[in-house]
A and B are shown apart, each in its own frame.
Chain A
């Protein structure tokens, strides 16, 4: 399952989402051009200290979320070892791990709709050119919500396959899975329509009117 947000509140949960995301962006801008030992050591040290201050659950979750990077890190290290530049390779890997861990930390301690509010605010100016920030943030929420549902569907299809075949399912379940996803999409759109359709961006002056016009045909 996709449990991005830590459920037990910590001090980091109380910081405003915008502040955490701005700090994250600043750190990235600062660290990316300066890949020397002190900067990377500081990045890794501070990130580790932040995780430690949130408790053992956060540390475990943080390490687990880094696992998908193992392959990338291994390839980079192997390449640099081959090129006889192990130190440089190690710095690059630590930079990736440190920045991703830091970004995960922001995700883990920020509620999705708070993050969406910041993104909506950032995208606000695009409203002039016809972009609906509220629709974008809804799409984001739907994606996160649907990943575990789709994984469950894939698991069920694989199980149905294995119940009647000695071979492994492999890619042959991809088409039925895609069809199931389309069917789900149709039902979700119905559920969305049942509760007012795709939201409009929040505009203080015409708050009472927004929300449901999209579907008023």
Chain B
């Protein structure tokens, strides 16, 4: 396996029910902070799932940190972690410590060691008291933060986030945003909130599954915002 950093997509395309959802797309993503914007149904979430190896492209190849994330799931776990929009779709276990430890046992740690390292992760994030809390008793923002901790515990090279701030109140949004900004990992984030992407190294703008913009945050976001304002000013033509 050749070692590279970042994400490589070559001629990737995905179809859902015969309709093209994404691509064909060829991208080399090596920047530390990458944003993805676009309208609903433009293929943003599909692109994230392709990068995380959860969707098998109909054509083309995807590599993250040199790993074939679709076929080699063991290597994919170390390469990329994903944070979904709704924490309830991500949390598998009834207690916090089990949720964090699960990924570590999946990477091969024995149960006791996984438990110990999970406790260290909680401790390091100032959440030692959470270990035995019920995941259901946490607030929405706390559950989203727990999902991030569970992903961080597995120490992937890249973390992809699918609108992680949806439904969070302003303080929680700011706190989670700070936690994400402080990550040493490569971050790829889908969001509708362009303000969150200011200062990102690169922004991709998807439209109908294809790339409509790609470049520094300031340039792409300005063009995107203008286009969205213009489209929003027209009356909808819902069929």
| A interface residues (Cβ-Cβ under 8 A, vs B) | 1-5, 7, 9, 111-113, 117, 138, 141-142, 144-145, 148-149, 184, 187-188, 190-197, 199, 202, 207-213, 215-217
A113 touches B111 (CB 8 A): yes
List residues of chain A with CB within 8 A of the CB of B102: 195
Question: Is B3 close to A, CB under 8 A?
Answer: no
A211 touches B84 (CB 8 A): no
A196 touches B94 (CB 8 A): no
A145 touches B92 (CB 8 A): yes
| B interface residues (Cβ-Cβ under 8 A, vs A) | 49, 52-54, 71-74, 77, 81-82, 84, 86, 88-95, 98, 101-103, 105-108, 110-111, 115, 132-137, 150, 154
* 5 pairs of residues in contact across A and B, judged by CB atoms under 8 Å: A3-B136, A188-B89, A195-B77, A195-B150, A216-B73
B92 touches A191 (CB 8 A): yes
Shortest Cβ distance from B133 into A: residue: A7
How many Å lie between the Cα of A7 and that of B129 in the bound state?
11
Shortest Cβ distance from A13 into B: residue: B132
Supplied contacts A4-B94, A111-B98, A191-B90, 15 more A-B pairs, CB within 8 Å:
A3-B134, A7-B132, A111-B95, A113-B111, A141-B92, A145-B136, A184-B88, A188-B89, A191-B89, A191-B92, A195-B92, A197-B73, A199-B105, A211-B106, A211-B107
How many Å lie between the Cα of A176 and that of B119 in the bound state?
39
Shortest Cβ distance from B86 into A: residue: A187
* One of B81, B98, B103 near A112 (C-beta < 8 A): B98
How many Å lie between the Cα of A102 and that of B93 in the bound state?
25
- What total of A-B pairs shows CB separation below 8 Å? 113
List residues of chain A with CB within 8 A of the CB of B108: 207-211
Shortest Cβ distance from A217 into B: residue: B71
How many Å lie between the Cα of A192 and that of B134 in the bound state?
19
Q: What's the minimum C-beta distance from B72 to chain A, rounded to whole angstroms? A: 7
How many Å lie between the Cα of A5 and that of B86 in the bound state?
25
Interface residues of chain A: helix, strand, loop or mixed (majority): helix
* One of B73, B135, B136 near A215 (C-beta < 8 A): B73
A2 touches B136 (CB 8 A): yes
Interface residues of chain B: helix, strand, loop or mixed (majority): mixed
How many Å lie between the Cα of A36 and that of B67 in the bound state?
67
* One of B54, B106, B132 near A196 (C-beta < 8 A): B106
List residues of chain A with CB within 8 A of the CB of B86: 187
Question: Which of A188, A196, A208 neighbours the largest number of chain B CB atoms within 10 Å of its CB?
Answer: A196
Q: What's the minimum C-beta distance from B17 to chain A, rounded to whole angstroms? A: 15
B137 touches A1 (CB 8 A): yes
A195 touches B106 (CB 8 A): yes
B54 touches A113 (CB 8 A): no
B89 touches A196 (CB 8 A): no
How many Å lie between the Cα of A207 and that of B112 in the bound state?
13
Q: What's the minimum C-beta distance from B190 to chain A, rounded to whole angstroms? A: 15
How many Å lie between the Cα of A91 and that of B174 in the bound state?
60
Shortest Cβ distance from A186 into B: residue: B89
How many Å lie between the Cα of A213 and that of B106 in the bound state?
10
| 9 residue pairs, one from A and one from B, having the closest CB atoms | A196-B106, A187-B89, A212-B74, A215-B73, A148-B136, A211-B106, A191-B90, A145-B94, A195-B103
Shortest Cβ distance from B106 into A: residue: A196
A211 touches B136 (CB 8 A): no
Shortest Cβ distance from B110 into A: residue: A207
List residues of chain B with CB within 8 A of the CB of A217: 71
A216 touches B74 (CB 8 A): yes
* One of A145, A191, A211 near B105 (C-beta < 8 A): A211
Shortest Cβ distance from A206 into B: residue: B108
A193 touches B74 (CB 8 A): no
* One of B52, B74, B81, B137 near A213 (C-beta < 8 A): B74
How many Å lie between the Cα of A197 and that of B107 in the bound state?
11
